[in-house]
Amino acid sequence: MSDSQSVSAAVAKLYNTYPFPPEPLLDEPPPGYNWRWNWLAAYNFCTGQKPQKQDIRILDAGCGTGVGTEYLVHLNPQASVVGIDLSAGALAVAKERCQRSGANRVEFHNLSIYDVEQLPGEFDLINCVGVLHHLPDPIRGIQALAKKLAPGGLMHIFVYGELGRWEIQLMQKAIALLQNEKRGDYRDGVQVGRQIFSSLPENNRLVKYEKQRWAMENQRDECFADMYVHPQEIDYNVETLFELIDASGLEFIGFSNPGFWQLDRLLSKAPELIERANNLNERQRYRLIELLDPEVTHYEFFLGRPPIAKADWSNDEHLLSAIPELNPCIDGFPSQCIFNYDYQIVNLSTAELEFMQACDGKVTVAEILTNVPLELAAVRSLVKQQLVMLTPGL
């Protein structure tokens, strides 16, 4: 057995022992949403406009117990979804999860990401969350997925960050040392890890970090095992992350939490330093931000296969002829105080609320503005905040 095969076998064994994620099975669609899994919201985030089609094919690459897969089916009612995973045990849970909640437009395959070419056709959206960093060769994995992405398609990826996981890495190594020849016995690893945490002093850095960040979810052994006794993990920084991205041959569209990657939030009191940073390229600025705020436990971002048509609404005529509709990931509407696609509170003016209430996907911006006293700048603000999606007019 090759090194790669033995690592894959060890990873499959972990998830057969502790199927992950361990979310409960429900006899109804899951509550809430993750906008990154909603084709309309994600496409709008990446391109500034509504996608032309919704009857798309979605691949959940490394679907585990199907938590994300279930959302992908329910949030995209016209899509067909395929889930693949290395663990037969996790897939059995995924199938039951989707069956019970009525997520019936999905098929599952017990397949490694390396072997994804065995699936027919291409996909418009590929979701790969928490998987590439567990592969022995993530570059080979991302390249295999990239070949299955259709032109104009999007790939949503989540991988671990080394700076915010430093304490986790130390605990992983400590558990491995104490396990010694019992490494690979994941139940023993969980027991050892829990004993370490209960024995260490309260003011110990590892204990404080665990309590501050992870203790709630790590009450479940499946989560504890995934975090602390995983047989294979590669953590990234901005520099190594972009080596992975460049190897994919796809276009980097952006991080899905752009607010974090604004230097102003860290150095606004020193405008001369921000001016210096303007001489850096985009990746150097990202690196500077993570060095100054080393809380990055993971990177979540979108890649795309060209051509990706990005909208520009700076032209008044284009904006006026566009047809607006509401972002599907808004909570609390209609009300002047709503939650946006990212669960941030937004307070709307009376005119903004009226405008949004008229966004039915049938009439143009110009037609709405004949009845609603709103400036074009305010319309652009609603578009920029992704409260409203636009389809270009004829």
DSSP notation for 221-277: HHHHHHHHS-S----B-HHHHHHHHHHHTSEEEEES-GGGG-THHHHTT-HHHHHHH
- How many Cα atoms sit within 13 Å of 202 on the Cβ side? 0
Determine the Cα–Cα distance for residues 47 and 306; give it in Å rounded to an integer: 12
110 contacts 83 by C-beta, under 8 angstroms: no
Determine the Cα–Cα distance for residues 57 and 78; give it in Å rounded to an integer: 9
Which of 40, 245, 248 has the alpha carbon at shortest distance from 125? 40
Quick one: tokens of 191?
Answer: 């027991």
293 and 169 share one domain: no
Does some domain include residue 196?
A: yes
114 and 33 share one domain: yes
Per-residue pLDDT tens digits of the chain, which is 394 residues long = 788 899 999 999 999 999 999 999 999 999 888 999 999 999 999 999 999 999 999 999 999 999 999 999 999 999 999 999 999 999 999 999 999 999 999 999 999 999 999 999 999 999 999 999 999 999 999 999 999 999 999 999 999 999 999 999 999 999 999 999 999 999 999 999 999 999 999 999 999 999 999 999 999 999 999 999 999 999 999 999 999 999 999 999 999 999 999 999 999 999 999 999 999 999 999 999 999 999 999 999 999 999 999 999 999 999 999 999 999 999 999 999 999 999 999 999 999 999 999 999 999 999 999 999 999 999 999 999 999 999 999 7
34 and 179 share one domain: no
| Range of the structural domain that residue 337 is part of | 316-391
256 and 135 share one domain: yes
Amino acid at 375: E
189 and 153 share one domain: no
271 and 333 share one domain: no
Does some domain include residue 272?
A: yes
Give pLDDT tens digits for 63-77. Answer: 999 999 999 999 999
Give pLDDT tens digits for 277-325. Answer: 999 999 999 999 999 999 999 999 999 999 999 999 999 999 999 999 9
Does some domain include residue 309?
A: no
Does some domain include residue 311?
A: no
Q: What is the CATH number of the domain that holds 259?
A: 3.40.50.150
Domain stops at, among 258, 273, 304:
304
pTM over 0.95: yes
Does some domain include residue 335?
A: yes
201 and 241 share one domain: no
- Residue 7 vs residues 93, 276, 281: alpha-carbon distances, Å: 23, 45, 37
25 and 126 share one domain: yes
- Please count the structural domains in the chain: 3
24 and 64 share one domain: yes
24 and 173 share one domain: no
Cα 22 from chain centroid (whole Å): 18
Count of Cβ atoms closer than 10 Å to residue 31 Cβ: 6
DSSP state, residue 35:
G
Domain stops at, among 269, 304, 339:
304
Does some domain include residue 117?
A: yes
Does some domain include residue 300?
A: yes
Does some domain include residue 310?
A: no
208 and 59 share one domain: no
Which of 389, 315, 339 has the alpha carbon at shortest distance from 46? 389
Domain stops at, among 255, 278, 304:
304
44 and 143 share one domain: yes
Q: What are phi and psi of 303, to 5 degrees?
A: -115, 160
